Structure 1
Amino acid sequence: MGSSILLGSFALVVMMAISYEPFQWMGVNASEVRITCYHHCNQTFESQELAHKDEYKIYGYPYSTNTRRVLAVLHEKGLSYDPITVDLKAGDQKKPRFLSINPFGQVPVFLDGDLKLTESRAISEYIVTVHKSRGTQLLNYESYKKMGTQRMWMAIESFEFDPLTSILTLEQSIKPMYGLKTDYKVVNETEAKLEKVLDIYEERLKKSSFLASNSFTMADLYHLPNIQYLMDTHTKRLFENRPSVRRWVAEIIARPAWKRACDVKAWYHKKKN
């Protein structure tokens, strides 16, 4: 019995080792093949999806860029949710009741049963992974190259695009909501930096319908919240002056799921608390 267990364990180790390198032995570039581990793990995710019930709750604010990012994903996947309003304008996010839910005082907070998640991008990836086979296919991990390209553009949005566009949205859209003055010196300085980023986007979008591939993915969706606000500001010209960027923006903001994500009346109509 002991020896058969050892042999079985040895065979398992050998099979695991072979699964990582066989393509090199056959002269095939591993980056061109499907990701074995990912698809094996995904079978588990898909079995969980079949048993999953849509009982999501979101603590958020319908004007919040980060809340809208998650709502867009839910609508792309055709999922329902129970919205719980955290009025940022009234300072609800800093009150003890909400801080007990998220001590960072930020929205959204996403509840899936006893699971609580914060950070809009982490929430979005969780939803897309749980509901991989449903609705729009927002993540594409068919090969290492596709995975790498999509991850790269998601990171570019987070580290290059979002910091600049968040400043511009704050100065030109959010501050006026609170009766605060826009700092146009900051706007001008930030726009100069954004122009350089958009020049890179223009070159990419000349060659590809969307950022990560020729289909709409999470990499594009992540850009939507700040773009939506900036289309009503003077910064809009930076997008419109670049033909490929202009075409891309027009396509992504026209998506029905995004329009529903921006529907403030629908948020309050769904509100049950």
Structure 2
Amino acid sequence: MVANMNVKLYGMSVSTCTQKVIFVLQDKQIPFEFININVLKKEQKLPEHIARHPFGKIPVLEHEGNFIFESLAIVRYLDALHPTVGTKLVPTHDAYKTALVDQWTYQSSFNFYPHVQGVIFETAIKPVAGLPTDEAKLAASRAMLEPTLDVYEKHFANGAKYFANDEFSLADLAHVVYFNVVKRTQPDLISARPNLAKWFERVVERDSWKAVMQWIQAQPKCH
């Protein structure tokens, strides 16, 4: 276990972006204090949280008096602090391998996230908030998402085990938290693509991902 780093994480256990950070904290065995920010109650917009995150979102990492927001930036920070502990999420010894991780990670912000988030909002977030699903918006988000999933299916059909380098990396972590929700709410988006489905099963069988799921289950339910 990494020595006490005096780390605090502000987030919400069901938040996909928070789960990315939890993965690294668990994988690298970094002790941390978790401070729940209930977005259903708009706690992320309170002045004390705006002081941590100027855009009023989660998660935020506090370490040595510094605040870092944006989940991928937090993950990169923790990976750089402890490169030899647990999974090395971004390779630094080979420029090409680093670029492969970056290309699959960065493209997800444009080709994947906006559309999968639309699916998640309609099928997972709205029900928790007591709001009805807008079937037209769900259908539109699915239609925008599926071409990207088809690209992923072709990528894995060509023999890739993970998104980059045939090793689990930040690129996989950037995707799996969202697919984990899709698997529960719109499973056909995955099952219709057998090679993508194999990638998903490969990732969720990792001990570090199972540790994330166990941590989530141990947290109080937020309403």
- Structures share fold, TM-score greater than 0.5: yes
**1:190-218 CA distances to partner (integer Å, 9 max, x unpaired)?**
21222111111111112210011211111
Conserved in 2, the CA contact under 8 Å of 1:83 and 1:267?
no
Deviation at 1:156, TM superposition (A): 1.7
1:231 to 183, 188, 201: 183
RMSD over aligned Cα atoms:
1.6
Deviation at 1:141, TM superposition (A): 2.8
Residue 18 (structure 2) pairs with residue 67 (structure 1)? yes
Residue 142 (structure 2) pairs with residue 173 (structure 1)? no
Decide whether aligned partners of structure 1 residues 137 and 192 sit closer, same or farther in structure 2, where only a CA change above 3 A counts. Answer: same
**1:41-70 CA distances to partner (integer Å, 9 max, x unpaired)?**
xxxxxxxxx9x7422100111111111111
2:169: which partner in 1?
217
Conserved in 1, the CA contact under 8 Å of 2:20 and 2:177?
yes
In 2, distance between residues paired with 1:167 and 1:54? 36
Residue 53 (structure 2) pairs with residue 102 (structure 1)? yes
**1:165-187 CA distances to partner (integer Å, 9 max, x unpaired)?**
11110110000101111111111
1:148 to 99, 104, 109: 99
2:37 to 69, 82, 86: 86
1:259: which partner in 2?
210
Conserved in 1, the CA contact under 8 Å of 2:4 and 2:31?
no
2:73 to 113, 122, 141: 122
2:160: which partner in 1?
208
2:113: which partner in 1?
162
**1:20-48 CA distances to partner (integer Å, 9 max, x unpaired)?**
xxxxxxxxxxxxxxxxxxxxxxxxxxxxx
In 1, distance between residues paired with 2:79 and 2:166? 19
Aligned-partner residue type, residue 134 of structure 2: D
Runs of 5+ unmatched residues, structure 2: none
In 2, distance between residues paired with 1:142 and 1:204? 24
Give the share of equivalent positions with the same residue, in percent. 29
**1:64-111 CA distances to partner (integer Å, 9 max, x unpaired)?**
111111111211222221101111122211222222322311111101
Conserved in 1, the CA contact under 8 Å of 2:161 and 2:167?
yes
In 1, distance between residues paired with 2:21 and 2:136? 32
2:86: which partner in 1?
135
Runs of 5+ unmatched residues, structure 1: 1-49, 269-273
SS class of match (1:214): coil
Aligned length: 217
Deviation at 1:121, TM superposition (A): 0.7
